Structure 1
Amino acid sequence: MTTEKVSQVGISCHEPTLDPNSNSFLDYLLPSRPVFQTLSASQLKSLVQDKMHQTTDTARLSATEVPKRAQSTMTQAQRKTSSASNTAVGQMQSLLGQLSRTRIVSDVKLLAQAPNLILSGLSARGLDDRKLLLEQLITLLASMPVASNISQKLSDALIRIIWGNLPHPPVSFMGRAYRFRRADGSDNNIINPKLGASNQPYSRNVQRTQPQMVNLPDPGTVYDLLLARDSFEPHPTGISSLLFNFANIIIHDIFSTTREPGAHSAINQHSSYLDLQVVYGANMEELQRVRTGTLGLLKADAVGDWRMAMMPPATAALAVLFSRSHNIIAKRIYEINEAHRFDDLEGESLDEELFGIARLVNCGLFLHIILRDYIPVILNTNDAEWYVNPLDQIKNIGGFGSLERGIGNSVAAEFSVLYRWHAAVSRMDEEWMNDFLQSQFPGKRPEEVSSREFVDAAAALKSQFHHTDPSEWNLHNWERDGQGKFNDGLLAQVIKDAVQDVAAAFRARGHPSWFRPIEILGMLTARKDWALCTMNEFRHFLGLKTYSSFSEWNPDPKVYKAAEMLYGDIENLELYPGLMAEEAKPSIPGSGLCPGYTISRGILSDAAALTRGDRFYTNDFSTSNLTSQGYHYCTTPQSGSHGLMGKLIMSTLPGQFPYNSIYALFPFRVPDRTISMLKEKRTLEHYDTSYPALARNWHVIESYSSSKHILEDSRYFVPLPSTKYDENLMTSAIHSIPRWQDEVSDFYSINTDTLMKEHSVSFSPSGRQRIVDLLEVVNTVSAQFTSMLFALPTCGSHGMQLGVSPQDLFATLAKPLAYAMYGSFDFQGHQTWQLEEQAEVCTRSLKNLIWARLHTVDGLLSPVFSLVQGISNVVGGPGNIAVNDLAKQFYDTLFASGKNNDELVEDCLHMMVSMTATHSLVLMQAFKWFLDEENAEHLSAVYTLAQKNEPASNAELRNRIMEAYRLNSITPPQGKFALQAVGLTDVDGNKVHVQVGDGVYISPSALYRDPHLSQDPERFSPSSKTPVCLGLGDTPTQLILEVALPAIAKQFFKHSGLGMAPAGPPPVVNDAGPTLNEKLPYFVSNQGSGYPLPINTSMHVIYEA
C-alpha cells in the first residue's frame, strides 16, 4: 500500500465521533476494519501517530507562539519536564502490544522496541496520570496470554518502571540523627557511614601501570627548572586574587594532610565534603571549641582551622565572614520560629537544633557561591543566568531510575596534587607570604629552608593555636574588640584590596620562591608515600588524549627541553610537575581560569563529585531541613548579580559596601574587567564602580525633640531618595470634597464589612466562629479606597470590570513605600538593590497610569488608550475611563492650582504611595497588642466603643488604636542625612555632633516612648499627647488615617470572640542596624523572605459571626 493510500485511510478513520464516556482511547484508535490487518507495522505506526496528534487535548505551541514573558519565566527543569512527558508514545506502545496478541505483525523490530518505548513514555517527568496510561497497560497485560513473549517483555517493563521510581538502597533516613551534618562528616552516605569522613584514607582514582624511573630527578631541581617564578604575569582573564583566596577555603576544606611524626600522609584529616570544616572544625573536639553552646551560635569571629593563620589575609577574612554568616542565620531562624518548631525546645536541645539548621543553611550558601559565583568565573560565562547545576535529579536514558546522587564522596590523592594552584598567587599575596615566612625563618632564603624545617615550623604554629581558644586566635595581628570581633572596616579593606589585586597566570615557572620547600614536600609525598600515576595515565583516566612528546605537553622550548632532560620519556613525566607546568588554556568564552588543560578538565569532574555526591546538597537539601527561610536565603542570588557572594559580603559587613558596588557583587574579577563586562551588557549605569569609601557614620537618635527636628527641618536633613511633594495642595484637595470625613468613613466601613464576609471561612462545626486574614482585608480595602479617590481602574471598583486587582494595586503601591522607608539605610546593602529595582518598576507604571488619568479628567481622551494600553497595560477600554463624583471634585482642586500635569503626577504618586500601605502597618501592630492576653481589659473597652456610632466614640477608638500602635511600634521612620554640621541632644541631655554626610537613625522607641513626654511612657494611655503620626507619612496620609483606622477597626471589634488564630501573627526578623544593639525589623513573608511592610504574609484572626 502506498503512503498516499495510508493517508486516505487515516482520513476515513477520523470520521467517527469519539465518545470519551463510552469508548476507550485504544478502541477508538483501532476500529474493527479489515484494512488494518493488511498494514505493515511501520505503516500502522505512522497512522497511529497521526491519529494521536489529532486527538490530543494538549495544545502544543511552537516557540514563536509562546509569549516572551512565558519563555523567560519557564525554568530549565520545567522545559525538561515538558519535553520528556510524551504521553502519546506510551499510548502507542500499549496499542502495539495489543496488536501482537490479536494480529500478525511482520515488523519484529518494532515489537522488540515496544518495552523500551513504554519505559520512556511512562517514566517521563510530568506524566499526566489523569490519562490513566499505566492502568491501560495493566488492563492490557491482564487480557494477554501469560506465556506469550510480548506479555513477558511488557511485564518486565512494568516492573522496571515501578522499581525505578524509588532509590535502591534508600538514600535518606528519617530522624534527627540524619538531618544534620556530623562534625567529622560521617553518615553522609548512610549505608557506608565512614565514606568521606575525617581521618579516613584518601582514595586513589588511577591505577598505575607505568614502571617508575629508577633514578627520579631531585625534586628541588624539578622545582628550580620547571616551577620557580621568573617573573609576574597577570592573569589573562583578569581574575582577582579574591577568587584564589576563596579557592583556598575550598581546598583546605576538603584536604588536610599531616606530616607530623607518627602520622600517615595517606590519611585526610578533613572530610571529603564541602561542609566548611575550616570554620566548624574537623571533629567534635574542634567543633565544641568554636561553639558558644547557646542558641546554636559560634563564638565571635571564631574559625576552626588554624591553617587560616598561614593563609593570605583575604583567605582568613573569608573564613571569618562565613563564621559571622552562621550566627546571622541562626538568629534569624530562631526569630522566625517557622511552624513553631522551637516552642518545645530549650537548653541543649534548642542549641543543637539551631546549630544544625544554621550549618546546613550556611553550607548551602557556600555551595551556591561555588556554583553561581566561583565556577562561572572559572568558565568565563560572563555573568550569564545559566550555570552548571549538578544537583538536580536526572532521569537515566530509557526512563529506568535516575543518575546517582547523594551517595557520598571521597577525595582522591590525585586531586590533592591537582589543586596546588600556587602559580596563581598575586603580587600582593606573594609579598605577604615573603614577609610571613621570613619572620618564621629569619635570615634564610627560600632555597635554604628544607621541607623538614618547614614542617617543624608549621607544627609549632599549630601547637600555639591548639592551646588557645579560637575566639582569641591572632589572625594576621588583627585586633579584636571587647566582644571578640574583628573590626568591620579592617575586614572590608582586606576584601576590597583583594578584589582589585589581579591574580597571576597559571604557567610553568610561575610559582613564588617561598613555595619551594612546600612544592618539594608535595612532590615527595606524591612520589614516595602515594606512588601516584604519571601525567599521561591521569589524562587517560579522564578520557583525554595522552601526550606523545614533551613539546606537545608544553610547547615552550625552555620548559619542554628542561622536562625532557629530567625525565627522558614523556611517559615518565610525574603527575605533580606534569600538572603544574603544563601549557595553560587560553582565555576564551568557556575558559576563564586558564590553568593547564588537564587541571581544567579535572576540576569540573571533581566539582560534580563534591556537590552531587553530598547527601546534604541533594536528597536532604530541603525546606524541611533548612526551613523555608533558610532554603530561600541560601539559594536566591543577590539582586544585581546572578551570584550570592554579594549577599555574604554585605550581610556580614553591613554598611561597608554600597548596595550596587561591583566590589561586592562581582568580587572574583578585577574592577576593570567587570566594568568592560557591564558595558558590553549595557548595564554599567546601575553600578558603583569606585573603590568603596569608609562606611558612613550613623547616629542613633533616642530623643523625641531631636527626632522631630530631624523629620521636619529640611535645611539640615534630607532623605535618600528625596522627592518633591506639595502636601498643602493635596490636603486642600481632600478638604474640597463635601463631607469628606463621612465619605471616607462610610467607604471604609462598608467595604471592610463586605470583604470580611467574602474572605471569612467557618472555623467551627457550628459555623459561628469565622477566621479571616486581617492583612488581606486591610490591604484590599486600602487599595480600593486609593482606586476610588484617584479613579484608578481596579477590578470590581466603582463598576469597572477591567483593570488590575486591588491586591495587585496594593503591592504596586507598597513597593515604592518600602524603598522610601528602608532605601536610605546603607547598612542594609544586601536588601537595597531589590527594593530599589521593584520601586522603579512600580513607580514607572504608576506614573503612566496617573498621567493617563489626569488627561482623561482633563478631557484629552484620544491619546490615552494607546498610552495606557501599551505602556502600563492596565486600563482595558472605554469602560475604565469614567470618573466618580468624589474623584472629580478631588481632581478639580488639583487642576485649579495651575500646576502642569507632570507636577501633579508627582504629587498624586507620593500621596497614594504614602497613604495606601500605612493602614496595615498600624493596624497589624495595634491588633497584635490588643489581642495579647495581657491586654484583655483594653480589648474589652474597644469592644464597647465599636458598638457605638458617634463622632466622640470614633475619636476615642482612634486614640486607643494609635496608643496601642505607639506601645507596639517597631518600624523606624525614614533615615536622613545631614546637609551640614548640626548639634542634637540625646535622651539624656548630652550633645550629639552630627557632621556633613552622617546618617541619623531614629529609634521607634525614641519617637514614641521618650520618657520626657510622659511620666510612664510604657503605660497604655489613650489620652497620650504623643503625636505618633509624626513618623507615619505626610499630612494627607494622617488625615485619611484618622478617619480610616477607626472605620476599619470597628468592623472587626464589633464581633465578639475576636482573637488571634492559632498560627499567631507574622514573624518579625531583625537584620543589621546602625549599631549592634539597634536592629532593623523585617516582616517575614509566607515564603520566608523579609520585607519592610507586611505584604505577602498573613495574620489570621477569629471572630464570632
Structure 2
Amino acid sequence: MSQAQEQFPKHQPALTEKLAAVRDVLHKSISPIPSHPEPTPGGATAQEAEPTNLLQDIKKLGFEDFDTLAHFLGSAVKGEINDNDMLLEHLIELFAKLPSGTVKGKKLEYGLINQLWNGIDHPPMTTLAEEFKYRAADGSNNNIHSRQMGAAGTAYARSTPPVAYQTPNQPEPSLVFDMLFARGDEFKPHPNKISSVLFYLATIITHDIFQTDGRDSNINLTSSYLDLAPLYGRNQEEQDAIRTKLDGRLKPDSFSSKRVLGFPPGVGVILIMFNRFHNYIVTQLASINENNRFDRPTGPVPDPSDDFPEEPVKPEESVDKNSDEYKAYLAEKHTFDSRNAWIKYDNNLFQTARLITCGLYVSIVLRDYVRTILNLNRSPSSWALDPRTNEGKSILRGETPEGTGNQVSVEFNLIYRWHCTISPKDDKWTQEVFAKELKSSSDPDKKVEDFTLKEFGHAVVAWEQRIPNDPVKRDFAGLGRGKDGSFREEDLAKIFKESVEDVAGSYGANRIPEIMKPIELLGIINARKWNVATLNEFREHFGLTRHPTFEDINPDPEVVKKLRYLYGTPDQVELYPGLVSEKAKPPMVPGSGLCGNFTMTRAILSDAVALVRGDRFYTVDYTPKNLTNWGFNQASYDHNVDQSHVFYKLVYRAFPNSFEANSIYAHFPMTVPSENKKILENIDRAYLYSWKEPKTKTSMIPIFSHKAVSEILYNQTDFKVVWGEAIRHLVAQPGKEYGKDFCLAGDGKANMLNRTQVRKALISGPWEKEVWKWYTHMTPKLLEQNSFTIRKGVKEVDIVRDVINLTNTRFNAALFCLPIKNEDSPWGVYTDQELYMVVATLFQSVFLDADIANSFKLRTIARELGQGLGKLMTLVVQAVAKAGFITDIVAKIREGEASLPTFGNHLIERLIADGKDLDEVIWGTIMPVVTANVTNQSQVMALCIDYYLGEGKQYLDELYHLAHQNTPEADEKLMKYMLEGCRLRGTVAVYREAVTTQVVTDYAPCLLDPNDPTSRKPVVNDDIEGTKYEIKIPKGQRVICNLMTAGRDPTIFEAPGEVRLDRPLESYVHYGLGPHWCAGKEISRVAQTSLFKQIVGLKNLRRAEGSRGKLKNMPAGAWNGQVGLPIGGQNGASKRNEPWLGLRAFMTADQSSYWPVPTTMKIEWDD
C-alpha cells in the first residue's frame, strides 16, 4: 500500500473511488513535506512558514472538507465544475479553516486563482468591433491584436532555422528533376485508389494559402487562412469582381483565381460547386431572415453598376424646411440612404454566406479529406482529427490556444507540391493546354518542355493577361455559358463524375510528369533562395529521427545511388528534393491512407491543426450566432451520416438533378467507386448506397389548375403514385419486401383491394360519435396540462407542439393500441412527443422527401425509427391475435382516456380478420397507415389556426360563439370554417409519374402579388383563357400536383380568397382527388372539427406577443443548382404575372433546419 493510500481515513470507503481520477495529483498534494526547503512567496522557505501536513489538517477538520478537496481536485482534471455542488463556497470555507502556515494549502489556493484567471481569455480573442465581424477580403484582422498576421501581401514565415552547413555547390535543378523527380513512362496508381477529387481539393487548399509573388518570392499574395481565396479573391478588388453586389450572390459558375484555369477542369468544377453552394446559402438566409437580420430594403432594386451617390450636404439650419433647396436635399438623402441600405443588405448576406461556405469547406477538409488521408474512411468510426474541439479549461493544464492567427511558412509551401499524384488523364490534359496556351515570344513552335525558366514565366504572364478580369466572362473547360452566365448542370456533373472515377498517382521518387518540369525547377530554385533547412533539420524540428542513411530515406537501390551521387551524405539532402524522393508510407487501416512521404505526412497534420485552430473564424467566432442557426447546421457534420463525411452537402447543392440521393459518387468522392465498394462491403454499409452511374434528371413539372390536377389524379392508367419504393424501404424485413400492396404504394388491383380493406376497418360502427367524443375530451385536457399562466387571467400554450400534434398523436396511438407514455400511463414505451417525432419522420421520408441533400439522412433515420415502431406494433398485434383482446399492460395504458371502443384492438382484429399473415398485415398495412395518419392532419390544423389568428381574425368572435352553442348546426358551421381555413392556408401537394407521354393544358389560377414580400396572399388570375398553355409530360417525368392552387381556382371556387360556408364538401381538394384520396377523410373531418372547436372556443384567442406567436414559414421552392444573372439588364426578378405556388417551408423550433410541417406557435387566451 502506498503512503498516500495509508493516510486515507479507513472509515470513509467512498473516498478512494472519488479520488481515483486524480490519484497522481492527490499524491503530490498530500505527500510528506520534503526535507529540503521549498520556495514560498516572498522568498520564505517551507521551514520558515512553519509547515503543517495538509492531509492531517484536513483530517482534523472533518469529512466534509475532505469531500471538498476531492471535488476540487476532480474539477482540476475535468476542467468543469457543477456549481450546484457549491464547490467554490465550500472551498473558501476550507481555506478559512486551514492553518495559515500550510504551504500545500497555498498551492491549492493558487490553483483556485489559476482556474478563476483561466475563466477569461487574456487577452480577449474576439470583439464586437464591426471591422472584425466578417472575414476581410485579404485575410487581415483575423487576430484582433495583430491585424496583419497572415494577411495577403505579407512575407512567408520560417518553420525551421537552417543551422547546418550546406554545400554551396548544390546540384543543378534540372539534374535533380531528371534524376529524382521525373516519372518517365511508368505511372504507379495510388495504392488506396484515392481519386483525383482529393488532390483537386488539395490543389485548392494549396493555392488558398500559397501564392508566391513572382517579383518577390518572399511575399505570399494570398492569406494564410483557409478562406477559399481561389473562389472569393485574395483582396478587395478581386472580391468585388466576383460579386454581383446584389442579394449577396456571387457571379454564377465563376471563381476569382485565373491560375485555376491552368489546372485540370476538376479543380475548377469544385470551386464552381462552392460558388453554387454560396448562392444557395444566400437565397435561404434571405428567406429565413433569422431575427430580422436580413430585412430586405423597400423600394426599387438599384443597379450595382451605377456609381454610388455622394452623401448630400445638409443645408444650414436657417434654410426653410419647405424650400425647394431643402426638398432637393431630402430627395438626395433618401436616394443615398436607400442605396446604403441595399449595400448593407447585400454585404451582410454575402459575408454571412461566406462564413458558412468556408465552414463547410473546412468541414470537408477535416471530415472527408483528412479522414481519407488517415484511412479512417475504411473504418466504421466517425472520429476525425478536428482541431475545432473545445477541450475545456482546468487548473492542471492550459487550454490549447485558438484563434491566435496563422502565418504560413516557406517549408510548407514546398511540402504541398503533390504533382506526383497527377493521373495520366490529367497529365495529357496539361500537356494539351500548355501546348495551346503557353507560347514562346521568340519561337511560337517551341515545346513547353524546352522553355527556359524565363520563357516559361513570360508565357504564363502573357496567358494570364489574356484571361478576362471579369470572372463570369471567362471560358471554362470548353463549356458554353447560358444567357444568365451559368453552365449546364449536366456538363459540370459529368466532369465531376469522371474525376471521381480517375485514380490518382502515388507518392515517391520519380513520379512527377515531365510536363511539370518548369514548375518543379522553380520550386527547387525558390527553396534555395529561401535558404530552407535540410531534410534532416526539418525532421528534427517535428520530433522525428534524422535519416542516418540514404537507405532510410528511400530503400530503393536506384534512388539511393542517385541521392548519394547528388548529395554525398544524408545530412546534405535538400528539403524539397528530399521530401519528393523520400519513401512513402505503406497503407494502414486506419492510420495511413494518403501513403505520402514520411516527413510530409507528419508535417501536414501539424499544419492542418494550425490552419484551423489558429483561425478565429473557425474557433472562437465559429458560432450559430455568427453563422445563424440554420447556416451553422449547413456547415456541420453528422456522426450518423457517412461516418461524419460532408462532401455530399456540396454535391447536392451544386448538382441537385444529377445524382441519386444515396449515390456513392456524392457521398464518398475521394476514393474511386470500385474501391469504395470493397471498403463499404467490409464494414457492412455497401447496401446503403447506389452504385449506378449518375444520370441527370429533369426538374419536376408543377401543375396548378383544378382541371389539370384533376385530370392527372384521376388518370390512374397514365400517371402512377411514386411512394411505393419509400414505403417498402421503411418496412422491408430480411428476405421479405412488405408494403408493395399497400393502397398508397401502387396503382394495381392489390393496392385497390388493400384500400377497400383499410376503409372497411376504419369506417365501422359508431365511429363518428366516438371520434368526436375522444377529441372533445383530449383537447381541453392537453390545453390545461401544457398551458402556463403568464400573468393573472392570461394563459399561454404552444398550440402546435403541445396540443395539435399531441392530440392527433394520442388519437393515432389509441387507434392501434400503441403503448404511449404519458401522465396516465407512465409504463408506456414512447412519450407522445417521441411518438409524434417518429411518425413525422416516417411521413416525411415517404411523402415529403423533397430535399435531395437531406434525403439520405432522412431515409436512414426513418428506417431505423420505423423498424423500432414496427417491432412494438408486432407485439401489440400478436397479443390481439392470440387473446382477442389487448394485454393487461396495454389496457392499463388506455385507462383514463376517452373510450374508442370501435377502434383499438377491434380495429386490429378487423385488419387481420381475413387470415392474412400477421407480419404482412403489420408491416404491409398497419405501419404505412400509422405513417400517413398523424402528420398531415396536424399540419393542416396548425395552418388553419394560423389563418384565423392572422388574415381571418375577423371571424374569431363568430367562431367563439359557435364553439359554445354545442348544437349540430353550430358544429356544422364550425366544420365549414375549418375546411375553409385549411383551403386558404394549407400547403398540400402530391406527386405522380407519367408512364406514357402525355399533353396537359394548364394555367395559373393565382398570381404572385408583387406587393406582398411574404408571397402569402395571391391575386386572382383574371385572364385564365389568355394564360393557358400546353405541357408535354414525357414518359418517366414526375409532376407535382399543387392542391393549394387547385383549391383557389376561380373556375371552381367563387371568390377564392374569401371564407364562404356554402361550398360543397366534395369541392375541397386538400384530402386529395382520384382513386388515392385520403382513405380516412371522414374520420379526419370529424376529428379536426372537434379539435378546431376546442381551440377557437378559447376566450379572446390571440397570438402570443412577438415572434413566438408566429408560425415560422417561407415560400417553398425547388433549388435547381444556381442563381443566374438577370437577363435583359433587369436587377431583381419581377414578380408580376408569375404563378403563385402557395407551398410553404417550415422550420424546427430552433430554426436550425427546415421541417416539412409546422413545429411551434404560441397562443394566448383569457382564463
Which of the residues 971, 991, 1003 maps onto 1:954?
A: 971
Question: Per-residue deviation at 1:627?
Answer: 1.7
Quote the residue 1:297 is aligned against.
Answer: 249
Q: Distance in 2 between matches of 1:623 and 1:332?
A: 15
> 1:1090 aligned to 1115, 1130, 1153, which one?
1153
Cα displacement string for residues 576-607 of structure 1 (whole angstroms, at most 9, x for unaligned residues): 21111211111222111111111111110100
Match status 1:784 vs 2:810: yes
2:464 corresponding residue in structure 1: 462
* Closer, same or farther: CA 959–775 of 1 in aligned 2, 3 Å: farther
1:942–1:1080 CA distance, 2 compared to 1 (3 A): closer
8 A Cα contact 1:640 1:833, kept in partner: no
1-side partners of 2:583 and 2:651: how far apart?
Answer: 35
In structure 2, relative to structure 1, the CA distance for the partners of 1:107 and 1:960 (3 Å cut) is: closer
Distance 1:269 1:119, change over 3 A: farther
**Among residues 747, 754, 759, which one is paired with 1:731 in the alignment?**
759
Q: Spell out the pairing of 1:274-313 with structure 2 (5 A cutoff).
A: 274-313=226-265
For 1:292-321, what per-residue CA distance to the aligned partner results, in whole angstroms no more than 9, with x for missing partners?
Answer: 223322222232222221121111011011
SS of match in other structure, 1:1035: coil
> What letter matches 1:983 in structure 2?
V
Check conservation: 2:1043, 2:1070, Cα contact below 8 A: no
- For 2:1162 and 2:50, how far apart are their aligned partners in 1? 61
| Cα 1:804/1:468, change in 2 over 3 Å | same
More divergent stretch after superposition (423-432 vs 169-178): 169-178
Map of 1:1028 onto structure 2: 1069
The residue number in structure 2 matching 1:1042 is 1085
- Following TM superposition, by how much is the alpha carbon of 1:1092 offset from its aligned partner in structure 2, in angstroms? 4.5
2:712 alignment partner in structure 1 = 710
2:206 is aligned, of 248, 251, 271, to 251
Contact map agreement 1:49 1:92 (CA 8 A) in 2: no
Q: Secondary structure at the match of 2:812?
A: helix
Residue 581 of structure 2 aligns with which residue? 581
Deviations 1:789-830 (A, max 9, x none): 22222235987853322222222222221112133x5xx322
Native 8 Å contact 2:1148 2:1155 kept in 1 = no
Conserved? CA contact 1:124–1:399, under 8 Å: no
The residue type equivalent to 1:1043 in the other structure is V
The AA in structure 2 aligned to 1:920 is S
Paired residue type of 2:1048: R
1:1003 to 1032, 1042, 1047: 1042
1:754 Cα deviation after fit? 1.4
Q: What value does the CA root-mean-square deviation take over the aligned residues?
A: 3.5
Moved more, 1074-1083 or 274-283: 1074-1083
Indicate how the Cα distance of structure 1 residues 732 and 156 shifts in structure 2: closer, same or farther if over 3 A, else same.
closer
Question: Deviation string for 1:661-717 (max 9, x for gaps)?
Answer: 111101000111100011111221221112212324532222333322333433323
What letter is aligned with 2:481? R
Helix, strand or coil at the partner of 2:902: helix
Are the equivalent residues in 1 in contact too, given 2:840–2:935 (CA < 8 A)?
yes
Query: Which amino acid counterpart does residue 1027 of structure 1 have in structure 2?
Result: Y
Which amino acid counterpart does residue 959 of structure 2 have in structure 1?
V
1:415–1:704: structure 2 CA closer, same or farther, 3 Å change rule? Answer: same
Hey, what does 1:9 align to over in structure 2? none
Structure 1 residue 1072 corresponds to structure 2 residue 1027:
no
- The alpha carbon displacement at 1:1024 in A equals 4.5
* 1:349-388 alignment, distance < 5 Å: 349-381=344-376, 382-383=378-379, 384-388=381-385
Check whether the contact 1:101–1:144 (CA below 8 A) recurs between aligned residues.
Answer: no
Distance 1:686 1:486, change over 3 A: same
Q: Which residue matches 1:66?
A: none
Could you say what secondary structure the match of 1:265 adopts? Answer: coil
Task: Kindly provide the CA deviation profile for residues 593-639 of structure 1, in whole angstroms up to 9, marking residues without a partner as x.
Answer: 11111111111010010011111111111121112222222112383
> What is aligned with 2:566?
566
* Structure 1 position 963 matched with structure 2 position 958: no
Q: CA deviation at 1:845?
A: 3.2
Q: Contact (CA 8 Å) 1:94, 1:136: kept in 2 or not?
A: no
Q: Following superposition of structure 1 onto structure 2, how do residues 545-560 of structure 1 map, counting pairs within 5 Å? A: 545-560=545-560
Which one-letter code corresponds to 1:857 in the other structure?
V
CA shift in 2, pair 1:954/1:410, >3 Å: same
Residue 819 of structure 2 corresponds to 793
**Equivalent residue for 1:775?**
801
The answer for the alignment partner of 1:338 in structure 2 is: 290
**TM-score, with length taken from structure 2:** 0.81
CA separation of 1:271 and 1:115: change in aligned 2, threshold 3 A: farther
Deviations 1:825-883 (A, max 9, x none): 5xx32211122223323333343334433333334489x98xxxxxxxxx957745999
Q: Is the 8 A contact 2:54 2:105 kept in 1?
A: no
**In 2, Cα distance between the equivalents of 1:441 and 1:154?**
70
Secondary structure of 1:977's counterpart equals strand
Matched residue of 1:169: which SS? coil
Q: Is the 8 A contact 1:748 1:781 kept in 2?
A: yes
- Deviations along 1:704-755, one digit per CA (max 9) or x if unpaired, are 33322333433323333315222222323333222x2222122112211111
Q: Report the Cα distance in structure 2 between the residues aligned to 1:1047 and 1:106, rounded to whole angstroms.
A: 71
SS at match of 2:1000: strand
Match of 2:327 in 1: none
Return the match for 1:926 from 901, 925, 944.
944
Q: How many residues align?
A: 1016
* 2:1099 matches 1:1056: yes
Tell me the distance in 1 between the aligned counterparts of 2:461 and 2:933: 66
| Alignment CA distance shift 1:902-1:48 (3 Å) | closer
After the TM superposition, which of the residue ranges 1048-1057 and 766-775 deviates more from structure 2? 766-775
Q: Distance in 2 between matches of 1:310 and 1:354?
A: 31
Identity %: 30
For 1:451, give the aligned amino acid. L
1:423–1:511: 8 Å Cα contact kept in structure 2? Answer: yes
Distance 1:291 1:1080, change over 3 A: farther
1:406 to 403, 406, 410: 403
Instruction: In structure 2, give the amino acid aligned to 1:408.
Output: G
Contact 2:54 2:102 in 1 (8 A): no
Separation in 2, partners of 1:323, 1:527: 37
SS at match of 2:1080: helix
Mark the CA change 1:716 to 1:407 in structure 2 (over 3 Å): closer, same or farther: same
Task: Decide whether aligned partners of structure 1 residues 535 and 1070 sit closer, same or farther in structure 2, where only a CA change above 3 A counts.
Answer: farther
Structure 1 portions without partners, runs of 5+: 7-39, 61-82, 866-874
Name the counterpart of 1:318: 270
Residues 46, 648 of structure 1: alpha-carbon distance in 2 compared, 3 angstrom cutoff? farther
CA apart distance, 1:406: 1.2
What SS does structure 2 have at the residue aligned with 1:279? helix
- Assess if the C-alpha contact under 8 Å between 2:197 and 2:670 holds in 1: yes
Per the alignment, residue 390 of structure 1 pairs with 387
- Of stretches 937-946 and 287-296 in structure 1, the one that deviates more from structure 2 is 937-946
Deviations 1:1046-1067 (A, max 9, x none): 2111212122332222222123
Quick check: 1:438 aligned with 2:435? yes
Residue 837 (structure 1) aligns with: 860
Mapped to 2, the partners of 1:460 and 1:1060 lie a distance apart of: 66
Match of 1:213 in 2: 167
Q: Where does the alignment leave 5 or more consecutive residues of structure 2 unmatched? A: 34-45, 61-67, 298-340, 440-444, 725-739, 744-753, 1004-1026, 1124-1137
Shift of residue 900, structure 1, vs aligned partner: 4.7
- For 1:203, which of 142, 151, 157 is the aligned residue? 157
Amino acid at match of 2:820: T
Distance 1:105 1:800 in 2: 51
Aligned-pair CA distance for 1:95: 12
Match of 1:693 among 692, 695, 705: 695
Report the counterpart of residue 422 of structure 1 in structure 2. Answer: 419
User: Which moves more between the two structures, 752-761 or 545-554?
Assistant: 545-554
Q: Could you give the per-residue CA deviations for residues 247-269 of structure 1, whole angstroms, max 9, x where no partner exists?
A: 1111111111121xxx3111111
The amino acid that maps onto 2:233 is: G
Separation in 2, partners of 1:186, 1:951: 73
Q: Over residues 977-1016 of structure 1, what are the superposed CA-to-partner deviations in whole Å (9 max), with x where a residue is unaligned? A: 2223333223255433323322222235543334543465
Per-residue deviation, 1:94:
8.9
d(CA) in 2 for partners of 1:688, 1:919: 34
